Chain A
Amino acid sequence: MTEKSSPQPRVLVVDDAVTVRAYTRQVLEAGGFAVDEAVNGIDGLEHALAATPDLLIVDINMQKMDGYTMLRRLRQDPALQDVPAIMISTESKDSDREKALLAGANWYFVKPVRPDDLTAAARLLTGLCGGRS
């Protein structure tokens, strides 16, 4: 398992849209995180198994393997089951939120996410303190 408050927490961003990944990376790196990218659920699982991240940020609708499936699989892996996860989707219905939480997410954001909110959430879920901008 990874240490909980390394100076630069690693975030794995799983999303099939390149702009969104770039945007998320930008936001998180500005917030003091190191960012890894994966382009779909399968890719995400492989990345997570190769190097355990401190936080997952997962899109729901992706080709090959969607975010729900990916999170469910991940939660079955003893080394990855407690990695905090944020799901992001364009769906704002309560039922969608519930589905994400059932799949294993700790938090759910509706797109578009304000950079400040994303950074704040990532800080909280990784235990990163301090108000660097």
Chain B
Amino acid sequence: MNTLFDQFVLESRELLEAAGAALLRLERDPADRVAVNDLFRALHTLKGATALFDMAPFTRMVHAGEDALMAVRDGQAAMTGDLADRLLDLLDTGAAWVDGLEDSQALPGDADARAQALEARLRAALGGPAESVEAGTPSAFAWVEEVPEAERAKAAGRTVTAIAYDPAEDCFFSGDDPLDLCRRIPDLLFLRVEAAAAWPPLAQLDPYRCALRFRALSGASKEDLARLFRGVPDQVTFATLAIPARAEPAAPASLATAMLREQAHILGLPGSAEETAARRAAVLRAVRNILTAEGRDAEQAVLDRAAEGPAEALVRCVESLADGPAAEADTPANAASPARRALRVDAERMDRLMALVGELVVAKGSLPYLAREAQDGRSAEALAQGIKEAHGRIDSIVGELQDAVLRLRVLPLSRVFDPLPRLVRDTARRLGKAVELHLSGGETEADKDILDILGEPLLHLVRNGLDHGVEAPERRRAAGKPEVAAIRVRAFQDGGGVVVEVSDDGAGIDADAVRRKAVARGAVTAEQAAALSDAEALRLIFLPGVSTSDSVSDLSGRGVGMDAVRGAVEQAGGRVEVASTPGAGTRVRLVLPLTMMVTRLVTVETAGTLYGFPVTLVTGMQRVPHGAIRRMKHAESVVVQDEVVPLLRLRRLLNLPEDERERKGEAVLLVDLGGHPVGLVVDAFRERADVVLKPMTGLLARLRGYAGTAVLGDGRLLLALNLRELL
């Protein structure tokens, strides 16, 4: 039951993501049949999954979405921005519910009400001002289903107008020639002339009474056609229809190929004559069915011939069938979700790990042998040689193992790119700007932790570009720029690091404005600002409180600024670069290490500075009253859990002035130095922190006692101490 539920959580997330992506594609191009189908399929599958569990509101909500899409797919409703908004709402709600389900296995209390509200809004978006089909009942256009494949293919994936023209019997007398009218239909895709009733014998036919009717599909708009048929409005009905693209192959080709290979394999399995004959019969039928399902009936003959020949011939035949359609089947296979692709990569990496573990087991095997040799009194030289060899082997395996484990943590950057299309779409819509997002390098890989840190700054930079960088359409027009702005997000690997670049072709940053703002905010003095080059002045935007826009918009002005971006990136051991050309755009570059070693530190404050100790060394924190501290000569100690623990003062260790302030007791950090407990007096305890330690550079590198520096989330600098060296 639980695996089924976990499966549901996993799958519904995937489906919601797939649906979201398809919806964005669809909104961009309402005629994108593949997108409609993807979206429909995702919702349909999701509905089925929710129905497995007791979550009626969820099922109901998804069902409403599915209905809406069906209307779009069948051409009874248009894909409007409004409808897209509602559907996005639905997907968001679904995602929130799935999160909740994972935690508490239950839908929120208001789920039913929400589902109802969403359902109602969807219906409104469909029925209201949407350009839905008119009066003509759908059944009047049932013939569209019967349009032959050849004609249908021409209209496939297009939005067309269906015309049902039933001329009045006496229309010839008003000078109408219906066939001629049909000849003038622009972009005629299909025309069927049919008898309104069975033909009477020729002698009884009144040639002057029209007995024909016409069914047509045209690529022209309803308005254009209405103009053409304006003389006979009572005899004609139109419907805007979307003709679905041709049905896709049922199964991804890769599965068919794998299955065919497996059948060839089965033919080679051992067993009694009876068993192999039965397997052969099942394989033949399976292969035939697979060929049928794949629309490769023509190849059945090949199989039949091979089945009459020797066993090997049949195996070869099935193998070649497996290789057969690989080329043309490429496209549908690509539709496989990226999530699954990622999983496959993971599996490969797991395999590599397993292989390495195997090698390690083999290498380990040489050790008992060496032990026996030592016992038997082999020469030290020979032993040393053996141990060196074993060490070499194990060392290289361990190195590879480390690398393999690191790779397990490595993920494609597309993970952090995923939310961007939606962000850009929503934001651009809200701001009334036309923006095209260009993503590239999503396949670039980086450590999972780097991705986690990258997410927020990336969103912020893109939002910033949209809000402050990209100009309003009219300004762009006036500046002679294309009305649709471009925001590019590019990722690539560079010299052991990963670079993510966010650029826009907007107005650029005015260095003087930044100088003025920085001075106004007191971040720099006027003299300092004036002395900066333009490139240096741009870097001022990374100081707290300095922003180029005077108005705080609801988009970028949420208290997070470029200083927060810088903070997050530096915390991960990276850096930020900015370049801008007024009038031409801005480029911000985040340069991050490929991996980062996160160290968890206990931080303390002493003499106004933050210091950190690896959490693994710290065994406790205590406030010790002065009276409890024993003094013997210069040495101090304290009793902790019946044990006498030497007490050291951090200020003294670091040659800092004594703390003269009045206080009741001492803050003592208890650390364990390889079995030797030590108490360390600090000024105050601070929070724990996960940091990426950067080694000390320059002159500082020579100082003993420091493990490195780190930047905290709020930008403060922290010194990590190496106690062993200090003591």
Chain A residues with CB under 8 Å of chain B are: 4-5, 19-20, 22-23, 26-27, 30, 72, 75-76, 81-85, 98, 101-102, 104, 106-108, 111-112, 114-117, 120-121, 123-133
Report yes or no: A124 in contact with B52, Cβ–Cβ below 8 A.
Answer: no
Find chain A residues with CB under 8 A from B271 CB: 102
For the complex, is B1 an interface residue (Cβ under 8 Å from A)? yes
Size range of the chain B interface in the assembly: 35 or more
Report yes or no: A112 in contact with B44, Cβ–Cβ below 8 A.
Answer: no
Report yes or no: B262 in contact with A20, Cβ–Cβ below 8 A.
Answer: no
Report yes or no: A129 in contact with B263, Cβ–Cβ below 8 A.
Answer: no
Interface contacts beyond A4-B289, A124-B294: sample of 5 additional A-B pairs, CB < 8 Å, sorted by A:
A19-B4, A27-B48, A104-B278, A124-B290, A125-B259
Closest to A84 in B: B286
How far is A38 from B1 in the complex, measured between Cα atoms in Å?
19
Selected from A30, A85, A102, A120, the residue in CB contact (under 8 A) with B250 is: A120
Find chain A residues with CB under 8 A from B44 CB: 30, 133
B299 to chain A, nearest CB (A): 13
Known A101-B269, A107-B259, A112-B4; contact A127-B292, beta-carbon cutoff 8 A:
yes
How far is A67 from B51 in the complex, measured between Cα atoms in Å?
28
4 A-B pairs closest in CB distance: A127-B289, A120-B251, A127-B292, A82-B281
Report yes or no: B3 in contact with A129, Cβ–Cβ below 8 A.
Answer: no
Within 8 A of A (CB), among B37-53: 37, 40-41, 44-45, 48-49, 51-52
Closest to B38 in A: A133
How far is A131 from B34 in the complex, measured between Cα atoms in Å?
12
**What mask results when residues 253 to 266 of chain B are scored 1 for a CB within 8 Å of chain A, else 0?**
00110010011011
How far is A48 from B589 in the complex, measured between Cα atoms in Å?
65
How far is A63 from B325 in the complex, measured between Cα atoms in Å?
42
Report yes or no: B52 in contact with A22, Cβ–Cβ below 8 A.
Answer: yes
Known A76-B278, A82-B284; contact A124-B251, beta-carbon cutoff 8 A:
yes
Known A124-B289, A127-B292; contact A84-B4, beta-carbon cutoff 8 A:
no
How far is A2 from B1 in the complex, measured between Cα atoms in Å?
35
How far is A26 from B256 in the complex, measured between Cα atoms in Å?
23
How far is A129 from B291 in the complex, measured between Cα atoms in Å?
10
Report yes or no: B293 in contact with A128, Cβ–Cβ below 8 A.
Answer: yes
Find chain B residues with CB under 8 A from A124 CB: 250-251, 255-256, 259, 289-290, 293-294
For the complex, is B362 an interface residue (Cβ under 8 Å from A)? no
How far is A124 from B260 in the complex, measured between Cα atoms in Å?
10
Q: Kindly name the residue among A20, A102, A123 whose own CB sees the greatest number of chain B CB atoms within 10 A.
A: A123
Known A75-B279, A104-B279, A106-B263; contact A129-B48, beta-carbon cutoff 8 A:
no
Closest to B274 in A: A76
How far is A82 from B279 in the complex, measured between Cα atoms in Å?
7
Known A26-B52, A104-B279; contact A121-B7, beta-carbon cutoff 8 A:
no
Interface of B (DSSP majority class):
helix
For the complex, is B100 an interface residue (Cβ under 8 Å from A)? no
How far is A129 from B247 in the complex, measured between Cα atoms in Å?
10
Report yes or no: B293 in contact with A102, Cβ–Cβ below 8 A.
Answer: no
Known A82-B281, A85-B282, A123-B250; contact A129-B292, beta-carbon cutoff 8 A:
yes
Q: Kindly name the residue among B7, B51, B248, B265 whose own CB sees the greatest number of chain A CB atoms within 10 A.
A: B7
Report yes or no: B282 in contact with A111, Cβ–Cβ below 8 A.
Answer: no
Report yes or no: A115 in contact with B52, Cβ–Cβ below 8 A.
Answer: no
For the complex, is B365 an interface residue (Cβ under 8 Å from A)? no
Report yes or no: B49 in contact with A115, Cβ–Cβ below 8 A.
Answer: yes
Closest to A54 in B: B289
B347 to chain A, nearest CB (A): 10
A98 to chain B, nearest CB (A): 8
B68 to chain A, nearest CB (A): 15
Q: Kindly name the residue among A22, A101, A114, A129 whose own CB sees the greatest number of chain B CB atoms within 10 A.
A: A129
How far is A80 from B724 in the complex, measured between Cα atoms in Å?
76
Closest to B282 in A: A82
Report yes or no: A121 in contact with B281, Cβ–Cβ below 8 A.
Answer: no
Selected from B51, B248, B289, the residue in CB contact (under 8 A) with A125 is: B289
Selected from B270, B281, B290, B294, the residue in CB contact (under 8 A) with A81 is: B281
For the complex, is B249 an interface residue (Cβ under 8 Å from A)? yes
Find chain B residues with CB under 8 A from A107 CB: 259, 262, 286
Report yes or no: A120 in contact with B255, Cβ–Cβ below 8 A.
Answer: yes
How far is A129 from B246 in the complex, measured between Cα atoms in Å?
13
A-B contact pairs, 8 of them (CB 8 A): A30-B44, A72-B275, A84-B286, A85-B282, A106-B282, A117-B255, A124-B250, A129-B249
Report yes or no: A82 in contact with B256, Cβ–Cβ below 8 A.
Answer: no
How far is A20 from B4 in the complex, measured between Cα atoms in Å?
8
How far is A119 from B270 in the complex, measured between Cα atoms in Å?
30
Selected from A26, A75, A76, A129, the residue in CB contact (under 8 A) with B293 is: A129
B344 to chain A, nearest CB (A): 13
Known A115-B45, A123-B250; contact A81-B278, beta-carbon cutoff 8 A:
yes
Report yes or no: A84 in contact with B285, Cβ–Cβ below 8 A.
Answer: yes
Report yes or no: B278 in contact with A129, Cβ–Cβ below 8 A.
Answer: no
Report yes or no: B45 in contact with A116, Cβ–Cβ below 8 A.
Answer: yes
Report yes or no: B250 in contact with A128, Cβ–Cβ below 8 A.
Answer: yes
Find chain B residues with CB under 8 A from A76 CB: 274, 278
Find chain B residues with CB under 8 A from A72 CB: 275
A88 to chain B, nearest CB (A): 13
Selected from B51, B282, B290, the residue in CB contact (under 8 A) with A127 is: B290
Closest to B277 in A: A81
Q: Kindly name the residue among B1, B48, B277 whose own CB sees the greatest number of chain A CB atoms within 10 A.
A: B48
Closest to A31 in B: B250
Selected from A106, A112, A130, the residue in CB contact (under 8 A) with B283 is: A106
How far is A115 from B291 in the complex, measured between Cα atoms in Å?
22
How far is A123 from B40 in the complex, measured between Cα atoms in Å?
20
Report yes or no: A101 in contact with B265, Cβ–Cβ below 8 A.
Answer: yes
Find chain B residues with CB under 8 A from A84 CB: 282, 285-286, 289
Known A125-B286, A127-B292; contact A114-B11, beta-carbon cutoff 8 A:
yes
Find chain A residues with CB under 8 A from B263 CB: 106
Closest to B347 in A: A92
Closest to B256 in A: A124
Known A81-B278, A106-B266, A106-B282; contact A125-B290, beta-carbon cutoff 8 A:
yes
